Amino acid sequence: MVQEWSAPTHFPIVIDEPRDFLPAQLPPADLILAVGEHPGIAELLPDIAKMTGARALIAPIDRVEWLPKGLMNQLRGWMKEIGVECVFPKPFCSLTETSYSLRGERVEYSDPIISEFARYFGKPRVRVTVDQASQTIAAVTVERDATCGCMRYIAEHIVGAKVDDVEFQVGMLHHHYPCLASMGIDPDYNDTLLHVSGNASRDAFSEAVKPYREVLYFQPSGLVEASDVSSSSDSALMDACR
C-alpha cells in the first residue's frame, strides 16, 4: 500500500516545533519516501518516522537546494537516534539494492526494506532483444525503472534504433523527458545531476546491447605480438646456453 501526505508549501526560516506542520496522525508505514522540494521538510521527517513507525527512509537529492549536505548529515544523525535506516541517493536514479550515488560519491548500505524498493525503482536496468538481420532494437524489458518513469519512456521510444546508435538515441530521449535532476553544477560531481542521470540511462542500454556488438581490434603496422617476443627471447637464451 502507498499512502501520500503533501507537506506545506511554505516554511519559516527556523522551525521551532515540527509538529505544528504535521497532521494529527499519519497511517503506519515501513518506508518513507521523502520527495518534498523544500529543505524545511527534512526537519519534519524524524517526527513523521515516529508517527508512522517507519523503519527506513529514502530521501533522494535531485537538487542540492532541496537537501543541502549539512542538513543531510543532520537528518542522518536524527534518524540514527531513533533507529531508522536512511539513504540519500544523488540523483534518485543512482539507487541500487546495495548502494546509492555514483562515481566517487558511491555509498554502500544494507537494509532489506530499502533494498526491496530498489529492486524495482532506482538505477535503470534493462534487457533488450535485437533483430540480428537489421541490427536494431526489437524489444526492451525494463527490469528496474527510474522512479520518475524515464526508463520506461525511453524503452517505448528506442525500439527500431540501430544498436550502434543506442547511446546517442538514449541520451536524446532522456533529454526530452521531464527529468527532476538539476541543471546546475553539483559541487560533489563537478557536473550537472541531469548529466549524471543521463549517463546512468545510457550505461544501462550500453550494457544491455554489449553482447550484440562485434568488437573490432586494430593492430598497428609492424606491431610484434608479446608471444612472438617471448618465443624470440627463449630462442636467443637457448642459443646463448649452447
Q: What is the percent of the chain where pLDDT is above 90?
A: 75
Return the residue matching grid coordinates 539494492.
97
Check: CB of residue 158 under 8 Å from CB of residue 170: yes
C-alpha distances (whole Å) from 95 to each of 76, 90, 147 are 17, 8, 10
pLDDT tens digits for range 72-98: 999 999 999 999 999 999 999 999 999
239 pLDDT band (50/70/90 cuts)?
A: low
Is it true that the peptide bond before 91 is cis, omega within 30 degrees of 0? yes
- When pLDDT is cut at 50, 70 and 90, the band that residue 229 belongs to is low
pLDDT at 224: 62
> Which of these, 54, 60, 85, lies nearest to 72 by C-alpha position?
60
Q: How many CB atoms lie within 10 A of CB 167?
A: 15
Q: Is 17's pLDDT higher than 90? A: no
For residues 22 and 48, is the Cβ–Cβ distance under 8 A? yes
pLDDT band at 138 (very low <50, low <70, confident <90, very high): very high
How high is the pLDDT of residue 21? 80
Give the pLDDT band of residue 242 (cuts 50, 70, 90).
low
Higher pLDDT, 77 or 19: 77
**36, pLDDT greater than 90:** no
pLDDT of amino acid 40: 85
Q: By C-alpha distance, which of 195, 198, 136 is closest to 173?
A: 198
Question: Average pLDDT of 213-217?
Answer: 63
Q: Categorize the per-residue pLDDT at 227 as very low, low, confident or very high, splitting at 50, 70 and 90.
A: low
Overall average pLDDT of the 101-130 stretch? 97
> For residue 44, what pLDDT is reported?
92
For residue 87, the SS3 value is strand
Q: How far apart (Å, rounded) are the C-alpha atoms in residues 242 and 238?
A: 6
